[in-house]
Structure 1
Amino acid sequence: MLLKLFLLFVPAAFAEDVTQRQLKPVKGVPHSRLNLYQPSTTDTFRCLDGSQTILYSQLNDDYCDCKDGSDEPGTAACGNAHFYCSNVGHRGNFIPTNRVNDKLCDCCDGSDEYDSGVDCPNICDELGRAARIEREKIANVARKGFQKRQELAKEGQTLRDSKLKDVEPLRQERATLEPERSRLETDKKSAEDAERKLQDEHRNQWEAELDLDKSGKIDKEELRQNLFLDEDNDGFVSEDEVNAYLTIDEADPEHFQSLMYDRLKTAKRNHLEDARIKEEEEKERARALENAPDDDDLLAEEDRHDSEDVTSNQESDDDNDKMPEYPPEVQVASEKAREARRLFDEVNQKTQDLDSRIREAEDFANSDYGEDSAWAALKDKCFDRNVQQYTYQFCPFGQNTQKDTGAYSGTSLGSFKEWSGPDGNKYSKMHFGDGQQCWNGPKRSTDITIECGEENELVEVTEPAKCEYLFTFRTPLACSDPDKEVIHDEF
């Protein structure tokens, strides 16, 4: 601890001392650190990690004395040190000291090959001009993007304020509707109970008529007496025709009402309709024979009477088997139930719509759309990019998909989970997870790298690992004010 405190305070005190005289240049050291490499009053140098003190003459003597390599910033003696290229006219930068005097020009000013015999041309001015042009181009994009970002921030803040402002009125409207909804729900239940009770009584009456032995159950033999089940019209109801409606030996009231009633009612209706059509055909045939000039008239008349007798007998049998139509009181109860359902459904739909809008507003308030809410402007918007036969879609705060180009639906590549940028730049990345399961692999996921751009655009899609996708999205929302940024040439 004492050593660390010493390192913190001594360089500062030492710096104050050396400011009184010109700083001595040291090869491989940037100007901002020269104060750490000035000779002390005892002509010694203390390693920057504080591990030991050496003679000042041992600096850059091509022998590594300090464990941190700080005594050899200008030679290749230490493998863990760095050499500073001043690169006047361009940007200064550090390179590993093992690249010093290796006969390869790493610094644009050639300063790294000062003792290798290699003549490195100084191309810093040329590179500096190109870098400045590129920086200005990037700055222009950032400047335009930043202006749009400010507009989007206003749009997002307005949207946020609007959503939050609507929450309380929506809650009040919901509270006002709730008593009416509860009352109508009670009315609906009462009307449906009354309707169901009368319908059950009507069904029970018909069931009792089918229950010939009054045992409280209907067996196959009793069901066989109903000719409307004679689907093949052979004059009697077969075992198979009975089994189509009753697969057990006998049916109690619960079984009859839940599994047989509706089907028997339909069979009865179909049977009556067939009989009506047959009767119409017989009448038409009789009318066609009325003008016959010979004895066939007599035969036709006899056939007609026979047919009428058959139809009459059939109708008589049907009347015996047919379940009576609902009486007026049942029909009235059904109409009341329908009206009660309509009134309840109308109010209930309004409350559900209000609940949905309240949830949306609350979700908005709890969501992170950036410090100035600018990202809210992209909520519910999506951006596509075609790559070979696929179309990839990126929906901020929604779901990413991959689909065949032109297809309606696709494969989920994950839904938005969190901002995943590093500390200090949180909004530079997004993570989407829990996508569609890969065959013999993980659930699909997507990481979004966000870059500054004049327009919102999905510019790149890759799959660096199986079912793990990487998107690059350019947007004004990632642009900061370039005129306020400070470029540091030393680090």
Structure 2
Amino acid sequence: MLPKILIFLLPAFLAAEDVTQRQLKPVKGVPHSRLNLYQPSTTDTFRCLDGSQTILYSQLNDDYCDCKDGSDEPGTSACGNAFFYCSNVGHKGNFIPTNRVNDKLCDCCDGSDEYDSGVDCPNICDELGRAARIEHEKVANIARKGYQKRQELAKEGQALRDSKLKDVEPLRQERALLEPDRVKFEGEKKVAEDAERKLQDEHRNQWESVKNEKKKLRAAEWFDELDLDKNGKIDKEELRQNIFLDDDNDGFVSEDEVKAYHTVDEADLEHFQSLMYDRLKTAKRTHLDDIRHKEEEEKERAKALENAPDDDDLLAEEDRHDAEGSEDIAHPDEDDEKMPDYPPEVQQLTEKAREARRLFDEVNTKVQDLDAKIREAEDFANSDYGEDSAWAALKDKCFDRNVQQYTYQFCPFGQNTQKDTGAYSGTSLGSFKEWSGPEGNKYSKMHFGDGQQCWNGPKRSTDITIECGEENELVEVTEPAKCEYLFTFRTPLACADPDKEVVHEEL
């Protein structure tokens, strides 16, 4: 006994078998694959394909639109929302809107759309079919060669992926072995540097103390020389006697020139040491340097003149300046202002700290290099290089195209740029963000974003359209909108196996 479910479905199976076994009646404008939908029912009726109503079978293609979806008039122009099928034997069948049927224009290559217009349309399907097949074979050959290269690149990409992932664990183990030494040397470096810094600070503080004492003595000596009336204070008139304060070089020290250094009526030693000494010392140095500079210029001019003055005259001029300078204290001893070398015990600690830094830097550099390699391998493992990893073969590679005065550069998984042809650097057009192809064809597009900001506009971005080609080549660059670029890149990586592609003849 048959199961109940089979008994229930048996009439439907028999009906389907009856439809397939009997000869299907042709209907104008309907492809063979849909003829079963247009066969007369047992009641000689036709049900609209949208199921909205049932009409007499004789109303099919009667040049009157009965069905809302236009399905009753596939072979006439009665319905504006219907389609006529051109069988185009010898070429490729296709649909056209039914409003083009019998409009005296030949739309189907077999002329079947003008069956009742009185226009004689030549059948050119064989000719178009031959041209289409030649073009199809040409494209297929390119795809075939590209697909073969893609398989090679896939092997290269997978090998690269396997190599990087294989190296991760040994790299981690090597890093783990180095980490104790890194921690040890870092601790020793800190101890040595702390000891070095402590003795250096002590040496520097002692020198600062000695230097300050010497500075006080020099300031006191100079204060005593400037205090002409020996009353323990320096007034502005006493300070005016020093020609090195003659800033405008008019041979006279004015009250205004003195005010720049003497801000009180009378300056005692403490005020002089804290607020006047350093500024006056600098002014005097500048004055003496100017004198020496002028003397050198005078000597150079004297040598160039025919009637140069005698050497005795030059010596007399030098003596005059020397005498003028000797009225004031000479330059402070420069050696007093330079910190003496560190003592041997400090130098020994410095050498020890230097060696500790060298040991730590050496092992730390190795650890950092290992960390970079581990990150690179992990990033590679987490990146999308296609289902077969073929795109990994183009990582770190770039492709250029010259357009007028610019060179555009496309770097898969990197950054796109625009630069003046021959220039070293350029403008960023965005960094790789994601594969942006439609569902089912994800790897047909790339999106690059966050490029250099446009003036008074958005950040630059690039969309990459990827097409099949025998070679990797950037073939087109456009800017359809301000700061939004469109590249077309041909590559074997976009080639599928043409011998496995399914061609759909009917829509």
Shared topology, TM-score over 0.5?
yes
CA-CA distance at 1:324 after TM superposition: 2.8
CA-CA distance at 1:181 after TM superposition: 0.8
CA-CA distance at 1:374 after TM superposition: 0.8
Q: Does 1:439 align with 2:455?
A: yes
Corresponding residue for 1:193? 194
Corresponding residue for 2:470? 454
CA-CA distance at 1:21 after TM superposition: 1.6
Q: Is the 8 A contact 1:47 1:53 kept in 2?
A: yes
Aligned counterpart in structure 1 of residue 342 of structure 2, from 299, 307, 326: 326
SS at match of 1:414: strand
SS at match of 2:431: strand
CA-CA distance at 1:191 after TM superposition: 1.6
Corresponding residue for 1:34? 35
Aligned counterpart in structure 2 of residue 412 of structure 1, from 424, 428, 431: 428
Q: Does 1:59 align with 2:63?
A: no
Q: TM-score, normalized by length of structure 2?
A: 0.75
AA of the residue aligned to 1:387: V
CA-CA distance at 1:348 after TM superposition: 1.1
Distance 1:318 1:13, change over 3 A: same
Q: Does 1:363 align with 2:376?
A: no
Root mean square deviation of aligned Cα = 3.5
Q: Does 1:339 align with 2:360?
A: no
Corresponding residue for 2:388? 372
Give, in whole Å, the separation in 2 of the partners of 1:239 and 1:454: 86
Corresponding residue for 1:478? 494
AA of the residue aligned to 2:492: P
Give, in whole Å, the separation in 2 of the partners of 1:320 and 1:387: 67
SS at match of 1:122: coil
Q: Is the 8 A contact 2:211 2:336 kept in 1?
A: no
Q: Deviations over 1:211-260 (max 9, x none)?
A: 4499xxx9xx79x99xxxxxxx9599x9989xxxxxxxx9xxxxxxxxxx
Corresponding residue for 1:73? 74
Give, in whole Å, the separation in 1 of the partners of 2:161 and 2:78: 60
AA of the residue aligned to 1:60: N
Q: Is the 8 A contact 2:48 2:69 kept in 1?
A: yes
CA-CA distance at 1:203 after TM superposition: 1.8
Give, in whole Å, the separation in 2 of the partners of 1:345 and 1:152: 40
AA of the residue aligned to 1:382: C
AA of the residue aligned to 1:351: V
CA-CA distance at 1:18 after TM superposition: 2.0
AA of the residue aligned to 1:441: G
Percent sequence identity is: 84
Q: Does 1:134 align with 2:135?
A: yes
CA-CA distance at 1:402 after TM superposition: 0.8
Q: How many residues align?
A: 418
CA-CA distance at 1:159 after TM superposition: 0.5
SS at match of 1:377: helix
Map 1:191-270 → 2, pairs under 5 A: 191-212=192-213
SS at match of 1:446: strand
Q: Which runs of 4+ in 1 moved over 6 A?
A: 9-13, 238-241, 313-316
Corresponding residue for 1:50? 51
Corresponding residue for 2:115? 114
SS at match of 2:496: coil
Q: Is the 8 A contact 2:92 2:505 kept in 1?
A: yes
Map 1:83-162 → 2, pairs under 5 A: 83-162=84-163
CA-CA distance at 1:425 after TM superposition: 1.1
CA-CA distance at 1:346 after TM superposition: 1.3
Structure 2: gaps (5+ residues):
1-9, 224-242, 247-257, 262-269, 271-281, 290-311
Distance 1:133 1:159, change over 3 A: same
Give, in whole Å, the separation in 2 of the partners of 1:412 and 1:203: 51
SS at match of 1:202: helix
Give, in whole Å, the separation in 2 of the partners of 1:41 and 1:316: 127
CA-CA distance at 1:316 after TM superposition: 8.6
CA-CA distance at 1:66 after TM superposition: 1.3
Give, in whole Å, the separation in 1 of the partners of 2:382 and 2:13: 47
CA-CA distance at 1:434 after TM superposition: 1.0
CA-CA distance at 1:424 after TM superposition: 1.3
AA of the residue aligned to 1:124: C
Give, in whole Å, the separation in 2 of the partners of 1:161 and 1:98: 59
AA of the residue aligned to 1:381: K
CA-CA distance at 1:315 after TM superposition: 9.4
Q: Is the 8 A contact 1:14 1:35 kept in 2?
A: no
CA-CA distance at 1:123 after TM superposition: 0.6
Distance 1:334 1:39, change over 3 A: same
Give, in whole Å, the separation in 2 of the partners of 1:348 and 1:10: 82
Map 1:178-189 → 2, pairs under 5 A: 178-189=179-190
Distance 1:323 1:116, change over 3 A: same
Give, in whole Å, the separation in 2 of the partners of 1:329 and 1:235: 46
Aligned counterpart in structure 2 of residue 395 of structure 1, from 411, 414, 439: 411
Corresponding residue for 1:283? none
Give, in whole Å, the separation in 2 of the partners of 1:423 and 1:168: 36
Give, in whole Å, the separation in 2 of the partners of 1:386 and 1:318: 63
Q: Deviations over 1:177-229 (max 9, x none)?
A: 11111111111122221221122112211222344499xxx9xx79x99xxxx
Corresponding residue for 1:264? none
Give, in whole Å, the separation in 1 of the partners of 2:337 and 2:148: 83
CA-CA distance at 1:460 after TM superposition: 0.8
SS at match of 2:21: coil
Q: Is the 8 A contact 2:448 2:462 kept in 1?
A: yes
Give, in whole Å, the separation in 2 of the partners of 1:74 and 1:458: 47
CA-CA distance at 1:15 after TM superposition: 4.5
Q: Deviations over 1:297-352 (max 9, x none)?
A: xx99xx9xx99xx9xx9799455554332211222222222222122111111111
Distance 1:382 1:35, change over 3 A: same
SS at match of 1:19: helix
Q: Is the 8 A contact 2:469 2:492 kept in 1?
A: yes
Corresponding residue for 1:279? none
Give, in whole Å, the separation in 1 of the partners of 2:206 and 2:89: 106
AA of the residue aligned to 1:73: P
Give, in whole Å, the separation in 2 of the partners of 1:11 and 1:314: 124
Corresponding residue for 2:441? 425
Q: Is the 8 A contact 1:11 1:35 kept in 2?
A: no
Q: Deviations over 1:37-63 (max 9, x none)?
A: 011111111111111111111111111
